[in-house]
Amino acid sequence: MSVSWSFSPAALLRQHHARDAAQTMGPLPDDVTETPFPPSGLFRGGLMADPHTRRGQDVIVYFHGGGFIAGGPETHRHVTAWLAHMTGLRVLSARYRLVPEHPFPAQADDAVAACRAMLAVIGEDTGIFLAGDSAGACVSLWGLHRMTVAERQKVRGLILFYGGYGQVESESITRRGTAENGLDSGTLSIMYDRLRGAGPEGNPVWPTAFASRITQPAYVVAAERDAIFDDSIRLFHAIEGQNPHSRLVIVPDQDHSFLKGAGQDPTAQIELARASTWIGTLTAQGPLSTPGPGDRPAHALHS
């Protein structure tokens, strides 16, 4: 049965998204243990991927994609398990509430609650990374935005795969967005409208509005054939001057959600490995939220 990201009921979209994830994901690494992480207080819980051989005590807090309406830790377990395998770090795939049942700011509230839950369990000299794909990349930045100054000092870096940050019109959307892939201007407008809740707090604050204040190093991945390619480019240009360790990676000949082939698709494996290498440089150097004098500017990489 075909689905419409504009008009299909939420339950049908969630079934479609889960089925697609199950059909495209590759095998999981055999040296990573997955354990449900129970909810506590405002924290909604999630799925923890723990490598058998840890290379550090930092934790990656990951937020799944799915247009804010679908997905969960289970649909992205292949991504987070391989990320744990490649980095040697624990990865919490955090659960957050979905629209239309839970409009904004539920997603932002759940993101910061997940970050605080991990900050409460790590050691004094360790930190967290925030990561996500598509809508989850946006959710991760909402979590960062809602942290206190002291909490943000514990964030070592950001890993953002082909994020959607609120644009409904751009050159890439015009060229590559279709109703079928759900990334045309009309469908994106409907998707973002679903987020809006009641009152002033119900209007999403898009990351590009506060990106100039993000000082953490960011690894921004844009897929060349992605309809929302320009979202990642715009975000990176807003943050690139804040930290010399930030990187923009443009993956050629790839579409939105190419990570869904993690575990079997060579490109997905290569890009997860490259992101993991970047994470490794930060765990070796420690927190890098404030660039020092004379640091080199961020630059773009092409796969």
pLDDT tens, residue by residue, 194-207: 999 888 888 999 99
Say yes or no to pLDDT of 302 above 80: no
Least-confidence region, from 95-109, 146-160, 198-212, 240-254? 198-212
CB 211 within 8 A of CB 241: no
CB 95 within 8 A of CB 46: yes
Q: What does the mean pLDDT of the chain come to?
A: 92
Q: Per residue in 213-236, pLDDT tens?
A: 999 999 999 999 999 999 999 999
Whether the CB-CB separation of 83 and 131 falls below 8 Å is answered with: yes
pLDDT of residue 1: 52
What confidence score (pLDDT) does residue 299 get? 39
Helix segments in the chain, DSSP class H? 10-24, 77-87, 106-119, 135-146, 149-152, 171-176, 185-195, 207-210, 229-239, 266-285
pLDDT bin (cut points 50, 70, 90) of residue 280 is very high
Is a pLDDT exceeding 80 seen at residue 262?
A: yes
| Nearest in space to 276 (alpha carbons), one of 34, 26, 49 | 49
Amino acid at 34: E
Cα-based angle 52, 90, 41 (whole degrees, multiple of 5): 130
Mean pLDDT to the nearest integer, 108-115 = 98
Q: Is 90 exceeded by the pLDDT of residue 127? A: yes
**H or E stretch at 92:** strand 90-94
Q: What is the pLDDT of residue 284?
A: 65
The 3-class secondary structure across 259-292, one letter per residue, is HHHCCCCHHHHHHHHHHHHHHHHHHHHCCCCCCC
User: Residue 222, Cα to own-chain centre: how many angstroms?
Assistant: 12
Q: Which tens digits make up the pLDDT trace of 151-168?
A: 999 999 999 999 999 999
pLDDT of residue 301: 52
Task: Tell me the C-alpha distance between 229 and 31, whole Å.
Answer: 34
Return d(Cα 218, Cα 61) in angstroms, integer.
Answer: 14
